[in-house]
Structure 1
Amino acid sequence: MVLVDFSLAFNCVNHRKLQRKLREEFHFSNNACDLIHSFLEHRTQAVRIGNSTSSQRPLVDGTPQGSCLSALLFSLYINSLPIGLRCRYQLYADDLQIYISGSIRDVDQLISTINSDLETIQHWARQNSLFPNPKKTQAIIFCKEGAVVPTTSIVFCGERINPAGNVVNLGIRMDCNLKWNGHINDVTAKVFGTLRTLRRFAPVLSVQTKLKLVRAVILPFFTYCDVIYYPGLSAALRDQLNRCFKASVRFVYSLRRRETTAAVRNFILGHDLEANYSHRISIFMRQGYASNFPPYLQQHLIKGRQERARSFVIPHHTTSKRKSIMIAGAINWNQLPLATRQLPTINAFKSALSARR
């Protein structure tokens, strides 16, 4: 997999080319194009240092930062990039990943295909006034065990991209051996780092204020993309997360390091951390049963033939595949009571899950 980086992508959108794309690719009306033109044109910028301000200069390219319309316009601008790619891809605004899978013995052939697509991306970027950044572009070769040493190099914009042992992809640290140690270490560091800052103000904070802070600032570290990694965690990594969570509980209720959190542990989430992960996985799989996943995820789920049972077919799988969300999640879903799986609304489903904890 290669994570392609563009330098200042939002600032490099060419207004004339964007207007042409809106008309020719998306069939915007003239009035709509004129409205977007007025949104983009006649903008200026200046630099202020202390009490000194530079003269204003016009912004001839780019979309304004901080506007929700800017992200949409950029997505429309970059929409044609994947045309002609042979590899699979994921494109989220300016975050582009291309990937391909196959046997280890075919790794050089796979890299050749990747290189071909990287040339296509470079050519598209040149035509559309964007600037790829090979120095920040990363590559990784996934293999369950050991390291893969290809003889063919990954090349982008004339520069060699050496495969890394791990990469951060949209906030998730992905390891070449499909381990989650690095990501859990990141979560741990963020939790304890934030708690260290909050403890400075603990003497003047009420329990309710500390509870709100933990829910707003700390819990997102635990829940971000949790359904992806939690089924694959070892007992040691789950214990590491639990220790972090207990530290958060101790901060809220001013407990000492050695004091037990059993009496108050469930007050933050309504249940313990492990039950919360199971709860969220069940909600995630309900979306899959309702066919609300994008196709690249939905294709990994097979519904049972009996609609009344509302279950998934569990395909034959290895021990390692059982740790994936699609297998572990399907098993988790099938173990729910039938009455819970049949509930018509997501709110009723969540309430039923909470009642079981």
Structure 2
Amino acid sequence: MYVFYRKSSRYSQNKALLRVTNDILISSDTGNLNILILLDLTAAFDTINHSILLSRLQTIYNITGTALSWFTSYLTDRHQFIHIDNCKSDSALLTQGVPQGSVLGPLLFILYILPLGQIIRRHGLQFHCFADDIQLYLSTKTINPVTHSTLTNCISEIKSWLKLNYLQLNCNKTEIILIGPKTLTNANSSLTLSIDGTPVSFSSHLRNLGIIFNQTLSYEHHIKTPSHLRNIARLRPSLTPQSAEILIHAFVTSRLDYCNSLLYGSPSKLLNRLQYIQNSAARLLTHTSSRDHITPTMFFLSLSQSSSRLVDACVQALKVQHCPIQASTPEAAKACALPQTWTLSVGKVNL
């Protein structure tokens, strides 16, 4: 499975991560070990070659005539300068890159690197690209010399292709993690992967599109991150209710809600921790004592239980399963919605 995502309302980080975790969890359920590699590109949007991009728009995507002329006009003869107060720098001509912060920027980047998928498929790896965030993952029973050679050759070929296309792979910031049963991850945790002569050790956890993954996909490290409550509590006596609400939403509740559909099905211990953080935020905002019951406060703030928030998030993220699949539905969501037959063994009873 290979998917290119661009940043938009229909192609969100949540859907991209749901697809990756869905693939990994299905593989882990069969007892496989999953190797997840996050490639880091240096200033990816700033080094796109205009001639190569325009050539691909014409030859691969059959964009010609007025449309191609429009893209040529959009990309070429652009200038930039720095303006601070009353000081303005000289104007400089931009000979490469796509406009930062533009709607077309991520889309043009995806079109630019689309041929990269042929290299990854040839080596038998799965991958997802969300704008310039490239994820490779491989499912295997064990890491043997063949597996190691496959990964090394694939990344080496990727780096060569990127160099030919004026992109640079940052080996020092590329991260690798093993995900799967603890027996397999513990047995292989000391291994390293060489990327163009640079040894890269397997991480115990890493940040993937803002979500912290660990070797069991339990998200324990991610749920620990909303520790900003203590800092806000120190400032609370000096804050107005409106200011406190803004800070709590910015640093706490927004993190609890970000891609929270991934947390559905987590153990009660982790869900209780989520609820505790939410309760603490409500107490801090309303000056509610720890001795007082939190339910009236939650009702006053119109806050639902964390478990209900996760269910709502899952319904929104996976509603494609209950609706007709349309042409506009992302391919990754379609794949997750395909009916599958499961055989789970619990003791001596097959379900």
TM-score normalised by the chain length of structure 1: 0.75
Matched position secondary structure for 1:162: strand
- Structure 2, unmatched stretches of 5+, are 1-35, 347-351
The DSSP-based 3-state class of the residue aligned with 1:89 is strand
Instruction: Tell me, yes or no, if the aligned pair for 1:99 and 1:114 is still in contact at 8 Å.
Output: no
Which residue of 34, 44, 65 maps to 1:30?
Answer: 65
Is this contact kept in 2: 1:2–1:97, CA < 8 A? yes
Which residue pairs with 2:44 in the alignment? Answer: 9
Q: In the alignment, is residue 178 of structure 1 matched against residue 217 of structure 2?
A: yes
- Distance in structure 1 (CA, Å) of the matches to 2:62 and 2:218: 46
What is aligned with 2:151? 114
How far apart, CA to CA, are the structure 1 residues paired with 2:182 and 2:208? 21
Q: Decide which structure has the larger Cα Rg and report it.
A: 1
Return the alpha-carbon distance in structure 1 between the equivalents of residues 237 and 167 of structure 2: 45
Separation (CA, whole Å) in 2 of partners of 1:264 and 1:246: 9
Greater CA drift, 88-97 or 42-51: 42-51
Identity of aligned residues (%): 22
Partner of 2:13: none
| Contact residue 112 and residue 152 of structure 1 kept, 8 A | no
1:1-357 paired onto structure 2 within 5 Å: 1-47=36-82, 52-85=87-120, 86-104=124-142, 106-146=143-183, 147-149=186-188, 153-186=192-225, 188-190=226-228, 192-193=230-231, 195-196=232-233, 199=236, 202=239, 204-205=240-241, 214=248, 218-232=252-266, 234-290=267-323, 292=325, 294-295=330-331, 298-299=334-335, 303=339, 315-317=342-344
Tell me how far apart the structure 2 counterparts of residues 83 and 59 of structure 1 sit (CA, whole Å). Answer: 30
Contact 2:81 2:89 survives alignment (8 Å): yes
Contact 2:264–2:311 (Cα < 8 Å) also in 1: no
- The 3-state SS of whatever aligns with 2:171 is coil
CA separation in 1, counterparts of 2:236 and 2:58? 55
Is the 1:81–1:121 Cα contact (8 Å) retained in structure 2?
yes
Partner Cα separation in structure 1 for residue 155 and residue 42 of structure 2? 16
In 1: Cα distance, 2:171 partner to 2:322 partner: 40
Letter in 2 for 1:37: T
Show the counterpart of 2:23.
none
SS of structure 2 residue aligned to 1:2:
strand
SS of the aligned residue for 2:194 comes to strand
Matching residue's letter, 2:205: N
> Match of 1:82, SS?
helix
Please state how far the C-alpha of 1:224 moved relative to its aligned partner.
1.2
Structure 1 residue 21: Cα displacement: 0.8
Report the Cα distance in structure 2 between the residues aligned to 1:196 and 1:107, rounded to whole angstroms: 51
- Normalized per residue, the structure richer in strand is 2
**1: CA distance between counterparts of 2:194 and 2:321?**
37
Question: After TM superposition, where is structure 1 displaced by more than 6 Å over at least 4 residues in a row?
Answer: none
Structure 1 residues 286, 164: closer, same or farther in 2, change over 3 A? same
SS at match of 2:109: helix
Give the whole-Å Cα distance in 2 for the aligned partners of 1:197 and 1:75. Answer: 44
The superposition leaves residues 111-158 of structure 1 with CA deviations (integer Å, 9 ceiling, x where unpaired) of: 222112112211210221101110111111123214233797422233
Deviation at 1:248, TM superposition (A): 1.7
Instruction: Answer yes or no: is the 8 Å Cα contact 1:7–1:133 preserved in 2.
Output: yes
Indicate the SS of the match to 2:135: strand
RMSD: 2.9
| Cα distance, 1:279 vs structure 2 | 2.7
The structure showing larger relative contact order (alpha-carbon pairs under 8 Å, at least 6 residues apart) is: 2
Work out whether residues 63 and 70 of structure 1, in 8 Å CA contact, stay in contact via their aligned partners in 2. yes
Q: C-alpha separation between the residues in 2 aligned to 1:33 and 1:100? A: 38
User: Deviations for 1:157-203, whole angstroms, at most 9, x for unmatched residues?
Assistant: 332211111111111111123332111112x225555x44873653x
Deviation of 1:255 after TM superposition, in Å, equals 1.4
Instruction: Figure out how many residues of one structure are paired with residues of the other and give that number.
Output: 303
CA distance in 1, matches of 2:333, 2:234: 39
Q: Which region of structure 1 is more displaced relative to structure 2, 146-155 or 57-66?
A: 146-155
- C-alpha contact 2:40 2:134 (8 A) present in aligned 1: yes
Output the amino acid matched with 2:265.
P
Amino acid at match of 1:247: S
Which residue identity is paired with 1:25? Answer: I
Whether the 8 Å contact between 2:228 and 2:251 is mirrored in structure 1 is: no
Contact 2:49 2:97 in 1 (8 A): yes
Residue 82 of structure 2 contacts residue 89 of structure 2 at CA under 8 Å; is this kept in 1?
yes
Q: Contact 1:108 / 1:151 at 8 angstroms: preserved in 2?
A: no
